[in-house]
């Protein structure tokens, strides 16, 4: 048993350590903003959860954007959890914001992914909100200068990537730009990974077209430049997460920079995610490292990917259970024109980790 003063000093020490870390994703707690709160008055800004002072300022001067930013925070949470549903680390601790567990506070590969996704998502959501007319201060993206192929013409309303990038980075990078918060190494890491997220977003601009012409003959296509869905951008970032580079904070020339830890002497690449702290294997519960473990997680007996029972359960084995599925079946087409179906029950076997 440790004495009370000992425990107190340990608590103070861990609080000091935590305050040295820069948490730039506390704004994701906006995902819990109650839907009845319409942020349309400057005094609402102080009531929003997770904003640092410069973000409260941005809120006051860009009230119109806040609804979109709250939506972006919800998208980040949903997309992160979906993208990692088949992994041991399943992004569950994003629910804990603004006080994250150590998996997102320690400068790990996981936090690298979440910063990159957050930066991409906020700009993505703003760029799309310009297009849908939700924002008064921006509208469609510019019409591209080059002339498309014959039979194609520019039209419609493109996503306003430029406005999304400008306003999104202002808001999501604000915590890392504050003088007093966090260690230099962590800020550099978070800023770098946020930039990687925005770069993946920029590469996700593609030509989208709609067909016109007599009875859908598609003799003329109207095209615009639009962004891929956030889930596709998240998949690109997941690939980068899997091959992320461990870095150290070292003097390079006159300043301290992040450089790859391994012997290959090269600067950090602009398109790679970087992290400072290694992650645990997330097999078992470890509160100090922010691992909730994989006990009771569903696994897939026939898969040989990361969601296979072998990998997901870390060799501990798994328990089967059965689940009843109700499906539409024996569907019949009636002339003309409707379909009737019966409901069938089917039992499937599922597995959860021991």
Ligand X SMILES: *[C@@H]1O[C@H](CO)[C@@H](O)[C@H](O)[C@H]1NC(C)=O
> Which residues are near ligand X by CB under 6 A?
38, 40-41, 81, 85, 90, 92, 292, 294, 296-297, 300, 302-305
Instruction: Produce one character per residue of 297-326: b if its CB has 16 or more CB atoms within 10 Å, e if not.
Output: bbbbeeeeeebebebbbbeeebeeeeeeee
Alpha-carbon gap, residue 132 to 134, rounded angstroms: 6
**Residue that has been written with the tokens 């994003």 in this structure:** 94
Q: Which is nearer to ligand X, 35 or 243 (CB)?
A: 35
Residue 182 is classified by DSSP as S
Alpha-carbon gap, residue 327 to 345, rounded angstroms: 6
Supply 323's token pair.
Answer: 């689940």
Q: Which is nearer to ligand X, 93 or 131 (CB)?
A: 93
Alpha-carbon gap, residue 80 to 237, rounded angstroms: 10
Q: Which is nearer to ligand X, 127 or 353 (CB)?
A: 353
Q: Which is nearer to ligand X, 96 or 303 (CB)?
A: 303
At closest approach, how far in Å is the CB of 92 from ligand X?
A: 4
Q: Which is nearer to ligand X, 149 or 296 (CB)?
A: 296
Q: Which is nearer to ligand X, 92 or 96 (CB)?
A: 92
Q: What one-character-per-residue DSSP string does 17-40 give?
A: HHHHS----GGGGGGG--TT----
CA pseudo-torsion sign 164, 167, 169, 172: negative
Length of the chain, in residues: 354
At closest approach, how far in Å is the CB of 124 from ligand X?
A: 21
At closest approach, how far in Å is the CB of 305 from ligand X?
A: 6
- State whether residue 12 is helix, strand or coil: helix
At closest approach, how far in Å is the CB of 102 from ligand X?
A: 16
At closest approach, how far in Å is the CB of 85 from ligand X?
A: 6
At closest approach, how far in Å is the CB of 44 from ligand X?
A: 9
């Amino acid at each position: 048993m440790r004495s009370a003063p000992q425990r107190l000093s340990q608590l103070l020490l861990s609080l000091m350590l935590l305050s040295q870390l820069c948490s730039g994703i506390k704004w994701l707690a906006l995902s819990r903003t109650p839907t009845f709160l319409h942020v349309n008055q400057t005094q609402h800004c102080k009531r929003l959860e997770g904003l640092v002072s410069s973000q409260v300022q941005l809120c006051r001067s860009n009230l119109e954007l806040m609804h979109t930013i709250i939506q972006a925070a919800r998208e980040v949470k949903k997309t992160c959890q979906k993208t990692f549903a088949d992994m041991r680390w399943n992004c569950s601790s994003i629910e804990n914001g603004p006080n994250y567990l150590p998996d997102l506070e320690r400068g790990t590969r996981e936090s690298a992914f979440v910063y990159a996704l957050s930066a991409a998502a906020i700009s993505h959501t703003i760029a799309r909100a310009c297009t849908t007319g939700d924002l008064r201060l921006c509208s469609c993206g510019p019409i591209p200068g080059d002339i498309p192929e014959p039979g194609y013409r520019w039209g419609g309303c493109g996503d306003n990537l430029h406005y999304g990038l400008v306003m999104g980075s202002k808001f999501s990078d604000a915590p890392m730009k504050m003088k007093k918060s966090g260690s230099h190494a962590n800020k550099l890491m978070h800023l770098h990974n946020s930039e990687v997220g925005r770069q993946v977003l920029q590469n996700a601009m593609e030509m989208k077209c709609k067909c016109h012409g007599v009875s859908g003959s598609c003799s003329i296509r109207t095209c615009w430049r639009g962004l891929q869905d956030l889930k596709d951008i998240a998949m690109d970032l997941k690939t980068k997460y899997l091959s992320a580079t461990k870095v150290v904070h070292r003097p390079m020339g006159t300043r301290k920079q992040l450089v790859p830890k391994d012997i290959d002497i090269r600067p950090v690449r602009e398109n790679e995610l970087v992290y400072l702290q290694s992650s645990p294997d997330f097999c078992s519960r470890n509160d100090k490292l922010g691992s909730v473990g994989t006990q009771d997680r569903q696994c897939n007996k026939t898969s040989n990917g990361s969601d296979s029972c072998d990998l997901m359960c870390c060799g501990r084995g798994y328990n089967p259970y059965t689940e009843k599925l109700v499906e539409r079946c024996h569907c019949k087409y009636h002339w003309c024109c409707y379909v009737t179906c019966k409901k069938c029950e089917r039992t499937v076997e599922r597995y959860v980790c021991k």
